[in-house]
Amino acid sequence: MAGVVLDGRRINAQIQQELRPRIEALRARHRAPALAVILVGNDPASQIYVRNKIKTCRELGVTSLDITPAATIETNELLDIIRGLNADPTVDGILVQSPLPPQIDHQQILTAIDPAKDSDGFHPFNVGSLVANRPAPRACTPAGIMEMLRRYEIPIAGRHAVVVGRSDIVGKPMALLLLHANATVTICHSRTRDLADECRRADILVAATGKAGLITAEHIKAGAVVIDVGMNRVTDQAMANRLIGYDAERLRLFHKNGSVLVGDAEPRAMQEISFAYTPVPGGVGPLTIAMLMSNTVGLAEQHLLE
């Protein structure tokens, strides 16, 4: 029996619908929420991602400030832009798209953003608030996953959750959010011994490694919930055959386009073994942008009270 598909696009639409009256209320009382998006350079994947964020802003009525410095910009120049946005009372949220060019000091940029305008939830102050379980913007992807689990009424308390990946963007905040929801949490990474054995303990398995097809049938316990955060573009024919060879339509598109987008888990293994799973694409991805909008609206509401 095939697992239940956890549809990120449906949850995204729900969250956006709930945000609309809040945005209208802000507009009526003061002004629309405003998000400044800084994209440095010409990375194609970043350009697509930022374009989707800006499109969602426009659809919701959130003001989007699109700032595109040249790829040659230095750290001090980018810091000056961020200081200006911090001081601008018409800006509620600031997002600096990663990755940044190698000459930019990423940590300096991250800590320069005013925590009260940190739409991504990455500032150390907001990360500390997450650790302490205090209100603050949360990292968008993990926060979106928690929304998905809640809205699909998947129980977390008392369950064993395994997070594969320890990044600051997904793995660590995901583990903390699950812990605050009373799950027993294991974090796995590149030095974990017998990864498959650890993963098979999971009632909720979150794969966030950036390695296509790392999670196989051997890693998934029957009846588990599998959240696949991976977004990997595969161009290798053998890898494509392994991951999507059973799906004639996706394989046809691979041959047509020369690539296919896959997650960190084998799709067929998720479908056949899990109780529920997120597809790639259409699972976790739409939730990230929904929670970015949610964070920005929440910050705008806080600014209105100040």
Catalytic residues: 53, 97, 120
Distances (CA, A) of 100 to 54, 67, 78, 126, 168: 19, 14, 11, 21, 16
| Partner residues linked to 262 by β-bridges | 232
- Per DSSP, 66 falls in state E
State how far the Cα of 216 lies from the Cα of 96, in Å rounded to an integer.
Answer: 34
Distances (CA, A) of 6 to 164, 282, 286: 19, 9, 12
Q: Is 135 exposed, middle or buried (0-12, 13-18, 19+ CB in 10 A)?
A: exposed
- Per DSSP, 118 falls in state B
